[in-house]
């Protein structure tokens, strides 16, 4: 992992993007007007990233994205993104993939739209480091799509680095995520 820069964000913007993750202190009920956070924007090699969720996209179908290549439900947690992408590539190349899987359709649509379309998403990728391992906390589908396009390094925010900084009076449009 390489730190690119420090990004300063207002609390409400951070909560808008990450409040659903149930990661204290980013949970929605922890909102504080005018509070700011500093986070590292980082570059993490794809080989170091792992899936945080047991079934990414599992709300769409039992087993989520990886059910499209017959992985057991709940089995994606802790798997490397590289292994997930290899399984998807093998399935796509051999035709042994469930193309009606909505999570796979979403990844393939992103892949087909290309790198720039994926990178211009308003919500940044987000990672956490747990016990020496890097996990994708936000943007698993985008990360997989970028990896299918050959990206070797992912750029996102390190949620593990978040630190509260002094509240700024009148903070509104200041701060914000870097474009694309």
Distances (CA, A) of 173 to 34, 110, 153, 163: 11, 29, 30, 20
| pLDDT tens for each residue of 58-113 | 776 778 999 999 999 889 999 999 999 999 999 999 999 998 899 999 999 999 99
| pLDDT tens for each residue of 37-51 | 899 999 999 999 999
**In this structure, what DSSP letter does residue 31 have?**
-
What pLDDT does residue 43 have? 98
- CA angle, corner 43, sides to 65 and 1, nearest 5? 100
Please, are residues 39 and 9 in contact by the beta-carbon 8 Å criterion? yes
- Please report, for the chain, the start and end positions of each structural domain, with discontinuous segments joined by +: 2-165
């Amino acid at each position: 992992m390489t730190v690119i820069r420090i990004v300063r964000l207002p609390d409400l913007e951070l909560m808008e993007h990450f409040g659903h993750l149930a990661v204290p202190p980013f949970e929605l009920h922890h909102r504080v007007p005018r509070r700011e956070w500093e986070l590292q924007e980082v570059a993490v090699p794809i080989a170091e990233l792992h899936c945080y969720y047991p079934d990414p996209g599992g709300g769409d179908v039992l087993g989520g994205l990886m059910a499209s290549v017959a992985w057991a439900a709940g089995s994606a947690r802790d798997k490397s993104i590289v292994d997930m992408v290899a399984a998807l590539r093998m399935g796509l190349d051999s035709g042994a993939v469930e193309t009606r899987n909505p999570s796979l359709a979403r990844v393939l649509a992103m892949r087909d739209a290309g790198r720039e379309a994926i990178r211009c998403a308003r919500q940044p990728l987000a990672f956490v480091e747990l016990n020496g391992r890097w996990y994708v906390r936000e943007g698993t589908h985008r990360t997989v799509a970028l990896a299918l396009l050959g990206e070797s390094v992912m750029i996102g925010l390190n949620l593990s680095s978040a630190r509260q900084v002094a509240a700024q009076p009148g903070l509104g449009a200041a701060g914000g995520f870097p474009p694309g």
